[in-house]
Amino acid sequence: MEGLEGKVAIVTGGGGGIGRAICLRLAQEGCIVGVFDIRGDVADETVRQVEAAGGVAHASVTDITDLDAVKAGVAAFEAVAGPTDILVNNAGYSKFVDFLDTGPELWHQMVSINLMGPIHMTHTVLTGMSERSTGVILNIASDAGRVGSSGESVYSACKGGVLALTKTLAREHARQGIRVNAVCPGPTDTPLFHSYKDAGERGKKVFESISRMFPLRRIGKPEDLPGAVTFLVSDDAAFITGQILSVSGGLTMHD
């Protein structure tokens, strides 16, 4: 991809399946990668894999639900790597449960991670981007935010909010040359998705049947996402902003 060599990129949730795959691909393209994750051990493992492949990465144990922690984490990373050129808001969390079986504790957790987390990261990083009039933000949302997802009501609401945030910020900062886009994965073979098997009989049935719902006849893999992400943050997509791209094996098709 064009224009990624030497760029400084932050990926939240960089220790997880999709996040790690994105970190590895961005590093392969020549980016200096900040692996932001609340779990230090998995962030360190991503850094190890990046370095083993000849790339450059730095781990940052950061709780994205805490604005002060985000500010400190970004400042510490930028002190080492330089100003952030690319932000990938990837970190997320879901739990398969019907809405009426949920309560305030789960609602708060979902909103804190899936909506306020990207808001905290974006406000912090975008402040610097705006001062420099350059930068790219890529939000990993979900097709749950476009069409809904039974058993993921509040998660879907949060991802819908991320999509609205994407388009609004794309409009607000277009004149500065700052681009903001989103990628929406469908169900993807990650540890989080496998947790549905433990969500009672209904969750187990959903897990077992979902691969048959894809027109491409397989569930997504973490490695299916980095190509789309890397394209949208590269100069090859220099004229693309405010757009939502589903990477879902045809599960959700839009006009």
Residue 206 lies in a domain: no
Residues of the chain with pLDDT > 90, as a percent, come to: 78
Mean pLDDT value of segment 63-69: 98
Q: How large is the C-alpha radius of gyration of the chain?
A: 17
Q: Which of 36, 77, 96, 155 is catalytic?
A: 155
Residue 131 lies in a domain: yes
Residue 255 lies in a domain: no
Q: Is the pTM of this model over 0.75?
A: yes
Q: Is the dihedral of CA 57, 60, 63, 69 positive or negative?
A: negative
Contact, 245 vs 182, CB < 8 A?
yes
Task: State the pLDDT confidence band at 229, using cuts at 50, 70 and 90.
Answer: very high
Q: How many domains does one find in the chain?
A: 1
Mean pLDDT value of segment 58-65: 98
| Residue among 238, 41, 214 at smallest CA distance from 143 | 214
> Residue 145 is part of which domain span?
8-189+224-237
Is 93 considered catalytic here? no
Task: State the pLDDT confidence band at 150, using cuts at 50, 70 and 90.
Answer: confident
Q: What is the CATH number of the domain that holds 71?
A: 3.40.50.720
CA distance 61 to 36: 6
The β-bridge partners of 139 are 89, 182
Q: Is the pLDDT of residue 208 over 60?
A: no
